[in-house]
Amino acid sequence: MIGDNLPSRTDVVQFYQSQGIGAMRIYAPDQETLRALDGTGIDLIMDVGNDNLAALASGPDAASAWVRDNVLPHPGVRIKYIAAGNEVPDAGTGSILPAMQNLNGALLAAGRGDIKVTTAIKMSVLASSSPPSEGAFKDAYMTEVARFLASTGAPLLANVYPYFAYIDNPSDIPLSYATFQPGTTTVGDNNGLTYTNLFDAMVDALYTAMEKAGSPAVPIVVSESGWPSDGGVGASIVNAQTYNQNLINHVGNGTPKRPGPLETYIFAMFNENLKEGHETENHFGLFNGPDKSPAYPINWECLLVSRLIFFWSSVRFPNQ
């Protein structure tokens, strides 16, 4: 949505349907998008927006009003998860748990207990991640979040980017290891597991952290992962295509610690020419606007069902 050359919300939803795409993520309750999704059967992750987190944490009434305004008017939209915050900065982390609790209570009171409330984190919530068996949360609030998720049966959403780990430490992380290429470095773990790609190592560090937080049964949903095709170190069409194709091919197998399909979303649906930040942020898309042409070829045939999300956007692989 952060561009001046992108298709309309209605066009995008129709494009999802024409491509057999079955899930979407939006980072705020955009009403036009919600109306376009009505009756489509497309699963939805809907963020509350970080700007709303403190208000939702302030008390049950604010959460009830949010549910009244953004969930109840759209009974035909298949909202699967509500994310109370996305990569919340340190100053706002105290609002995450109370916002989740208030939203969960509001949904239950409104008869929408089928919607799971969670939050989306980045890898910096870990004090340690290498080797994966050393994964541990650095702050106490994440232990409380994990225990809440365990009590409600909701997953933890995690934005997992080997790209950023690679560009932060290219001398120690081979590009081939970061992009799932075969025959690359195999990294041993203290638990006897071996890792042939960085994505698995990052996800398993999160699973280990959940175990140490006393919540081993909480699943991880990879709510963002991707690779830019231009604009910075390691950002090229070849690398983006290689990473995303290999990710698609890989996630059906899960990780060494947790075999089995891993629900994963590719970031992003479209290149976004007005997105602020580093230039790479404009080049994560799988498609161009407004003609919806592919940014580079991707083969979906290895998936039973392909899933994409947009706003900042992503592709989801089913967990069944």
- pLDDT digits 0-9 by tens, 237-292: 999 999 999 999 999 999 999 999 999 999 999 999 999 999 999 999 999 988 99
In this predicted model, what pLDDT tens digit does every residue of 45-94 receive, in sequence order? 999 999 999 999 999 999 999 999 999 999 999 999 999 999 999 999 99
Give the C-alpha separation, 284 to 267, whole Å: 6
* pLDDT for residue 306: 35
Structure tokens belonging to residue 200: 């698995």
Q: What is the pLDDT of residues 29-56, one digit of tens each?
A: 999 999 999 999 999 999 999 999 999 9
Give the per-residue pLDDT at 186.
75
Q: Which of 103, 122, 121 is nearest to 113 (CA)?
A: 103
When mean pLDDT is compared across 112-126, 260-274, 300-314, the lowest value belongs to 300-314
Catalytic residues: 87, 224
